[in-house]
Chain A
């Protein structure tokens, strides 16, 4: 079987094993998170190798030029030489927690002081420990907020979210890498006024975070076609940022917000099924830009529904939380 040479030490790989799996099996503490090619925690640099597209999926042009690839996606057929990337190659940065505020029963807002060039709607990877790495979307916009903002949902038995809720303290330094992601306002296309399309933005739960980033960017670019923001939760007591959203869009007559919860009522929300709501209110999505963010199962179903309602697949921007 192929030999993996990692930082000049040789390790054997088994049939069908990825580079990451082979090294972890042999006790090498390689940082890793999702093992799905999303979080980029397991980035490595290769020598004399031609990576497949999936092994570099989501990497920036400069990362590709530096011969970086995703070790969780590479099942080597021949011997391969790989190296641990430097902090700068892996786009790592430090941030300091400035503010930690509970937004509802199970969502914590973190605001972080850090130097980061990002596009609103992108996400970063938070490194609690090399084996506890998670992705969180940015809710902030660099022109609106100086601090990076994240909305973190408490997950039962979640190694990182419990730490965020119960242990993390203001003033503490946190390690990140990124930014990553292409679920962003299509600035290049929008430069041509004729190409601008009405937008339907659908957020479930903390999917609101990246959706807010993209919405702020659309407003900043003076998007002049209708924008419908649909915010969904399981129960109406799960909504957060309702006043902030109303405030953000109040001077933009082309933007409408809709709050839909499966259970419960409030004076600003409607009880109902978000899939039915979208189907009934937006039956024809031809020539729309669609943004869908939230849990993976929700995003997949909603993406398909929007496609069946006429949206081009290339016009659907989705961010599925693992």
Chain B
């Protein structure tokens, strides 16, 4: 956990999340593989959810448990393609913000760690 928190701090904490969230949101909305899961009338509410997601994968303070992730996604009938699409957009966002490769790898590792819960496996 100490190491994960240090990723969050090293990329700038909440400021980094704020910089990333609109870029990430725009990418997933424009991605036909997954846009339907993100296309909500309540854009501000949707943005808040993505902020929470990014805070988690950046290793920041969050209250997510594996059970929450499972519960929130289980009715969405998600598969590997959906998960990979989110991961690609996450990497694309971080690259756009010039986050170093080794830190991107660590962030992706956190995202992958919740994969089984998200896909309800």
Contacts and interface: CB of A to CB of B under 8 A. Distances in A.
Interface of A: 300, 303-304, 307-308, 310, 312-313
Contact of A313 (B25, B30, B39, B41): B25
Contact of B29 (A300, A307, A310, A312): A307
Nearest to A318: B43
Chain B interface size, as a band, is 10 to 19
A312 B43 CA distance: 12
Contacts of A307: 22, 25-26, 29, 43
A138 B63 CA distance: 43
Interface in B1-58: 22, 25-26, 29-30, 39, 41, 43-44, 47
B41 A308 contact: no
Contacts of B22: 307, 312-313
Interface of B: 22, 25-26, 29-30, 39, 41, 43-44, 47
A313 B26 CA distance: 10
Contacts of A313: 22, 25, 43-44, 47
Mostly helix, strand, loop or mixed at chain A's interface? helix
Contacts of B41: 300
Contacts of A303: 43
Contacts of A310: 26
Contacts of A304: 29, 39, 43
Contacts of B26: 307-308, 310
Nearest to B47: A313
Mostly helix, strand, loop or mixed at chain B's interface? helix
Nearest to B21: A313
21 contacts: A300-B41, A300-B43, A303-B43, A304-B29, A304-B39, A304-B43, A307-B22, A307-B25, A307-B26, A307-B29, A307-B43, A308-B26, A308-B29, A308-B30, A310-B26, A312-B22, A313-B22, A313-B25, A313-B43, A313-B44, A313-B47
Contacts of B25: 307, 313
A313 B22 CA distance: 7
Nearest to A310: B26
Contacts of B44: 313
Contacts of B43: 300, 303-304, 307, 313
Q: Which 8 A-B pairs rank lowest in CB-CB distance, beginning with the nearest?
A: A312-B22, A300-B41, A313-B47, A313-B22, A308-B26, A308-B30, A308-B29, A313-B43
Given A300-B43, A304-B39, A308-B26, 18 more contacts: A300-B41, A303-B43, A304-B29, A304-B43, A307-B22, A307-B25, A307-B26, A307-B29, A307-B43, A308-B29, A308-B30, A310-B26, A312-B22, A313-B22, A313-B25, A313-B43, A313-B44, A313-B47
Nearest to A297: B41
A322 to B, nearest CB: 13
A308 B22 CA distance: 10
